Chains A and B, each alone.
Chain A
């Protein structure tokens, strides 16, 4: 049998089927936006947080009413689960571009954001990650890849300078959780701290499922550091601080945005006192509309985990680009995105040529009386 004929008839069938999919014209145009994050598995709580942040923004934009090209537009969020698995991430990326989403907010992890970005580039769909911080993501040179959070290098540098400067640390122990995020941040921190003249007395490792850190902390204690830096998230950071106290390791504790959240305070309990951590952007409380955002979010979805404000800003940045382009057409939105200058709840968002945020501030916080208090903002 002739293979060419079969595939030809198959393609005719395909065209016929595709023709059936056309939607009837209505007054309001529905623009679909994808949101991808792990919604099952160990990071599901973070994934849902991102999705909720994006959903809040979408609902508010819809409530205000969005008009593009003279027609009312309703945004619709399609939340997908990538299970923090790179393979699933590419399937989801393809699925979203099939469904004709006009933009994607996501993914959460660097490990999923990077492989997925290839498919958004191929489909010419703008992708804004609220939380992927690996340098490699925007270094690929894709014109579709953006992020609204400072990358590892930007944040690690601020943390390193802060540790050696204001905190006056001379002997530093570094721990990371061997995830793309934790390792990336810890490496950049180490570089900056070394450059500033501090001595790295120990480099230890854990993983993102671990609960027991006593062996590495004991080993660190033997090296008598005056500061312990942790690149990782609150489920590890909280118990780690407790175990430090229990072991009598009285060094100061410094971390990144992964522990700068309310859940860390709960998990670390009284031992959280004095812990310092950074977060990209300006403090929510200092931003116009920041406290209001927190109140709106928490009344609907409960406590902010970590990245919801960034997901919220990512959607707002996108909507602003759509308004400038006066269209939801991805090509036009992509052309409008580089001119972004958006006053978000996490800070003033502008992009450089690679798609990274520029001049993004990093704010340092410290736990005082059981709450995160702003120490200073580094521009």
Chain B
């Protein structure tokens, strides 16, 4: 029993991390119908910038509490990532808005490769350790362990999801976003500055990426210029699973993927009598993804839109 609860907690924390990154994917997709493959790399840059800032702050004022230092890192990383996301959209995606879907996809892949290699040049090839600044207090629930940081990550992802949902549903900007998502032309006719809206989407998405990047590297204790790739891929899968373009869906997809991975890795060996082991963890995750999409082709919470002629 305690093992099962522990696996659920493992999955929930992992899922929260996926969800944090998936929110960025889903926002951009909801409005532009563009897979922003570079989002994972923006997350990585967020972690790297924050680490650099944390290093500086620790050098200048080592007596500060760890939480404040990390917060300082986050506050540096957010504007850096916003600037990056904004520039990527302006330089690489905007000129291609009228091109078929594959062109911006390739651009996004190109941007990913560029960002990875720039990060490699700037921060080196090594795995960088994240200093243990955040509180690691341990609690026990039903025999399972959970730390302060884990609780914080889960709460943070839920809070951000709610904040986003509120922004999109209840604010002027959100209304403009929804209008842009439905039809760029009509939104423009109604007085929405579509370019501003899209830029705002990228700014928000990148700020989220910065936060996610710092959380990921603080939680796992490391950062590396290649860390964004797998993370982005998993997060993107989570967004698709939940119904891409849907904010609550990204959250649901993230949690689901995390829990499926945890339970899959934890129990697949015992369930198959040792024939399949935890090395099939990702197979399990992808298999669930495929199953869901086969029966609900637009994801769990995705809207069903009739095929346009």
Contact = CB atoms under 8 A, between A and B. Distances in A.
Let me know if chains A and B touch directly in the complex, using CB atoms closer than 8 Å: yes
B224 interface: yes
Interface string B93-104: 000000000000
Interface string B257-286: 000011111110110000001110110000
Contact of B227 (A45, A202, A211): A211
A215 B132 contact: no
Given A219-B267, A242-B221, A305 B262 contact: no
A234 interface: yes
Interface string B142-178: 0001010000000000000000000000000000000
Given A205-B278, A219-B265, A246-B136, A267 B145 contact: no
Classify chain B's interface size.
35 or more
B138 interface: yes
Nearest to A269: B132
A194 to B, nearest CB: 15
A248 B282 CA distance: 25
A239 B13 contact: no
A16 to B, nearest CB: 40
A41 B263 CA distance: 30
Nearest to A234: B127
B124 A218 contact: no
B107 interface: no
A263 B126 contact: yes
Given A45-B127, A48-B125, A247 B117 contact: no
Contacts of A336: none
A216 B126 contact: no
A48 B225 CA distance: 15
Contact of A238 (B222, B263, B266): B222
A339 interface: no
A42 interface: yes
Interface of B is mostly: helix
Contacts of A248: 138, 145
B11 interface: yes
B7 interface: yes
Given A203-B277, A214-B262, A267 B127 contact: yes
Contact of B127 (A47, A48, A235): A235
Interface in A268-292: 268-270
B14 A214 contact: yes
Given A212-B14, A218-B266, A269 B226 contact: no
Interface string B120-135: 1000111101001000
Contact of A204 (B222, B226, B277): B277
Contacts of A263: 126-127, 129
Nearest to A176: B279
B46 to A, nearest CB: 16
A270 B269 CA distance: 32
A235 B125 CA distance: 12
A222 B266 CA distance: 10
A239 B221 contact: yes
Nearest to B146: A246
A41 B129 contact: no
Given A218-B6, A218-B266, A247-B6, A42 B224 contact: yes
Given A48-B125, A204-B277, A267-B129, A215 B221 contact: no
Given A212-B14, A246-B136, A247-B145, A222 B126 contact: no
A267 B132 CA distance: 10
Contact of A219 (B124, B216, B278): B278
30 contacts: A40-B117, A42-B224, A42-B226, A44-B120, A45-B125, A45-B126, A47-B125, A203-B277, A204-B269, A205-B277, A207-B279, A207-B282, A209-B229, A209-B230, A211-B216, A212-B14, A214-B262, A215-B261, A215-B263, A215-B264, A215-B278, A218-B7, A218-B262, A218-B266, A219-B269, A234-B127, A238-B127, A238-B221, A263-B129, A270-B132
Interface of B: 3, 6-7, 10-11, 13-14, 117, 120, 124-127, 129, 132, 136, 138, 145, 147, 216, 220-222, 224, 226-227, 229-230, 261-267, 269-270, 277-279, 281-282
Interface of A: 40-42, 44-45, 47-48, 178, 202-207, 209, 211-212, 214-216, 218-219, 221-222, 234-235, 238-239, 242, 246-248, 263, 266-270, 305
